[in-house]
Amino acid sequence: MGYFFISAICLLIVCILMIKQFNKNKIKQTQLLGISYITQLKPLISLVQQHRGLSSAWLNGDLTVKPKVARLQEQIENIISKLKKTELHNNERWVSFYDHWLRLLNHKTKPSVANSFEQHCLLIKNLSYLLEDTSETYLLTAEYCNEFRNIGYTWRELIIATENIGQARAIGTSVCVQKVCSSVDKIRLNFLTENMQKITANTLHKLHYLSDEVNQHEDYINIATLKMEEFTLVISKELVNNSVITIEQQHYFALATSTIAAFDDIFYHQVEQLKKLI
């Protein structure tokens, strides 16, 4: 009797351990799939942001950027084609983004600068929400990532930071081409600058890192902070507080893009560290 009781207890323990291991493997597979989707969505967001900025230059009369706009559209379409074959294509945010993107491209008349900017912002907002939704659906949250309790900052605040920079890039590009910074543009650029500075000061130091990645993490944070300081200084000196706009749009666009790239380095470093923990 005692032998069968002990055997039953052992069998129960083995079953419990097997179930735990099965659940652990299932969570791991779910998280890795989520990371795969997120690392496709993030470049898509970046490309649509660039498309917005160069469209601003083109619609303001800089015809030299038209080939670049066309190349961006091809790159965007390539990523869209891949994501359409995944589970994300059923998500209502994806459906809304894709329908909106097609309408933007197939618009019969040339949109105004303001309308183009607004439409791109809506597209990017949808993709940003989709990325955050994906992190929750695929268990990439603090609840399942104990060593990265602030992982939500990666999926939300870092995306918001690059979008603030991206909007400032688009608005500033228009200003550079027109050689005029209107009172409305000054207000918008000041607002975006303030938001960028807040996120840089209040969010970056809250991001977690692995002990063996501390040096790389700090390097990325320092570079992003310096880039942000340089970019906001240029906005203030060259656009907002300068009666004569002399900075070329190519230089301004490149500076904004390199600032976004610095924040993207932090984003992808967070993702790579997370993959080590899964």
Helices (H), the chain: 2-59, 66-83, 92-105, 113-137, 152-155, 157-178, 183-202, 214-234, 249-277
Angle at 74 between CA 248 and CA 59, to 5 degrees: 40
Pair 147, 175: CB distance under 8 Å: no
Q: How far apart are CA 253 and CA 257, in angstroms?
A: 6
Pair 139, 31: CB distance under 8 Å: yes
Pair 47, 127: CB distance under 8 Å: no
pLDDT tens for each residue of 169-209: 999 999 999 999 999 999 999 999 999 999 999 999 999 99
Pair 151, 140: CB distance under 8 Å: yes
pLDDT tens for each residue of 8-46: 565 556 556 555 554 667 888 999 999 999 999 999 999
The token pair at 39 is: 């690392």
Q: How far apart are CA 193 and CA 228, in angstroms?
A: 9
Distances (CA, A) of 90 to 23, 41, 96, 97, 130: 25, 15, 10, 12, 11
pLDDT tens for each residue of 53-104: 999 999 999 999 999 999 999 999 999 999 999 999 999 999 999 999 999 9
pTM greater than 0.95: no
